Amino acid sequence: MARRNFDDLLAFVTVAIPLQLQKQWITIGWALEGAALAWLFGRIRHRGLLYWSLALFAAVFVRLAMNPEILLYEPRGPMRIFNWYLYAYLVCATAFLLGAWSLARSEQEDSPEPVTYSSVLAGAAVVLLFLLLNIEIADFYATGPTIMFRFGVTLSQDLTYTIGWLMFGMALLAACIYLHSRFGRVAALVLIALTTFKCFLYDLGSLEGLYRVGSFVGLAMSLALVSLALQKFVLAKPEEQA
């Protein structure tokens, strides 16, 4: 009876959020609730807390990553970068990371599985941050009332996407090396490789003179650093990485 009353309370709180909030605030409220339930699960091993937290995180991810209406929730304002996309995605991604951290502590005691709930939440947070990067770039170059992802309109916009993806991949690689996440390192290298192909096959064809030379030099230096990281932290055997 007590467990049923507890589950009913969680359902009431979750339903109350969309009744009191609107649009992106619903998503933020559910993300914070999911992080709080994940933290509480580490102290009260009630499976309902875990499943409810994961369900909330799944709903948040769908609303932010698979909902095209997210770009229409509010009209574009005069501010670029510092807009509602920034706080909405950052808060939700932070909630995902906090939830992953909370669940990782309990999983270390209960489950030796390589793919865990905490790793899934951490990966979802990375996806949300990557989406935020692309949304901010699109918003910065947008000229109409809505955001549209367009390539080939201006050279500066295409190069901004390439530089942003490369920097994101490098930062993700460094973070995953520090956290000893092999899967994350592989994902970062895949993103860097795709960015490199985009640069060679698409961007460099639009550059001339010193701009093309500078791009080649910068790309070569980045790839050299990535190759060193690849040999030392990805392809090396576990005993060689210690």
Q: What is the pLDDT of residues 229-238, one digit of tens each?
A: 667 766 665 5
Average model confidence (pLDDT) across the chain: 80
Is 21's pLDDT higher than 50? no
Q: Which DSSP category does 201 fall into? A: I
Q: What angle do CA 47, 48, 53 make, to 5 degrees?
A: 105
Specify the higher pLDDT residue, 232 or 118: 118
Q: What pLDDT score does 1 carry?
A: 45
What radius of gyration, in Å, describes the C-alpha atoms of the chain?
A: 21
Overall pTM surpassing 0.85 (yes/no): no
Amino acid present at 30? W
Q: What pLDDT score does 228 carry?
A: 73
